[in-house]
Amino acid sequence: MPPAFLQTARGHINAILTAGKPVPHAPKASTKKPKPTTSATTIKPTELRPDEDEYSYIFVAFTNESESNLYIYTSIDALNFTLLKGPAFEPPGTLIRDPSLHVLRDGTYLLTYTPSWEGRNLSIAKSTDLQNWNFTKSLRIPELNYPDITRTWAPEFFFDPVTEFLHIIVSISKDLNNFRPVYFTLRSYSTDGTEWTGPFEMPGLNEPGCNAIDMFVVYDEKSNFAGWGKCEGPCLTILPDGKTYRIYADCYDDGRYIFADSEDLYNWGQNFELPSGLSGFVRHGTVVRVPTK
């Protein structure tokens, strides 16, 4: 039986899925310096009145300058991000593309990421302070059940509040034209985040020709769905007002990192570039809303 987050017909949980189509030749990190952007200084996105003592935001990403270094930013309004540390983590002998962050109940930070352009592994690292990281383990797509897989890209955490299971959803393919998502599950959420089972198929998303990558799943009680254009690496969070959604995406083809707002997940406002020099510098990351301690 599929997990609760896939049993939408039973009303256990409804998920928003955003997935980007892979391009025939995905570009590797540019060695060019990011171009300064001024568009963000002239925009007027959703007016924010942050409840400063309740939530803040953490943004983890790699950059145009390096596929092997993790950069970490923080914000109180989900728009203006300040560098906490960068580089914050350089994994031993691998890349660190497409990082995704999750906070365990004990305050430990888990990071999952793409370690290579080709291969069967995704990687996991841990930290207690967001600034000092240790590689923890790799999860492997087994040859027995998946003999033709050559690419394992863009792992993304999803915590199911109904079952309290933590999942990692990752896109796998034998080439650049047949991506589909599978997932791993951390059955005992209170553990140290090292014991995983899987991979498991995602019914409804594993048919031939699906060819979608960079899936991001969030809990939503209202059965809403949103798709997002041609950019890659979408992620979604809720703004400080508690009701407005913000989606971020990496438009790497023209060197922009954009965001847009919505109150219903169907109708989206104009997209803008991230300010403070982040657009054109950061690549495919994840913004996480966390309680302020």
User: Residue 37: which pLDDT band, with cuts at 50, 70 and 90?
Assistant: very low
Q: What is the pLDDT of residues 95-151, one digit of tens each?
A: 999 999 999 888 899 999 999 999 999 999 999 999 999 999 999 999 998 999 999
Number of domains in the chain: 1
Dihedral pair phi/psi, residue 40, rounded to 5°: -70, -20
Instruction: Indicate the average pLDDT of the chain.
Output: 78
User: Residue 293: which pLDDT band, with cuts at 50, 70 and 90?
Assistant: low
Q: Is 24 left (phi over 0), alpha (psi -120 to 50) or beta?
A: alpha
User: Residue 203: which pLDDT band, with cuts at 50, 70 and 90?
Assistant: confident
Q: What does the pLDDT read at residue 230?
A: 60
Checking if the pLDDT of 74 tops 60, the result is: yes
Checking if the pLDDT of 5 tops 60, the result is: no
Q: What does the pLDDT read at residue 19?
A: 46
Checking if the pLDDT of 157 tops 60, the result is: yes
User: Residue 191: which pLDDT band, with cuts at 50, 70 and 90?
Assistant: low
Q: What does the pLDDT read at residue 189?
A: 55
Q: What does the pLDDT read at residue 29?
A: 39
Q: What is the CATH number of the domain that holds 183?
A: 2.115.10
Q: What is the pLDDT of residues 165-176, one digit of tens each?
A: 899 999 999 998
Q: What does the pLDDT read at residue 36?
A: 32
Of 194 and 148, more confident:
148
Range of the structural domain that residue 26 is part of? 4-291
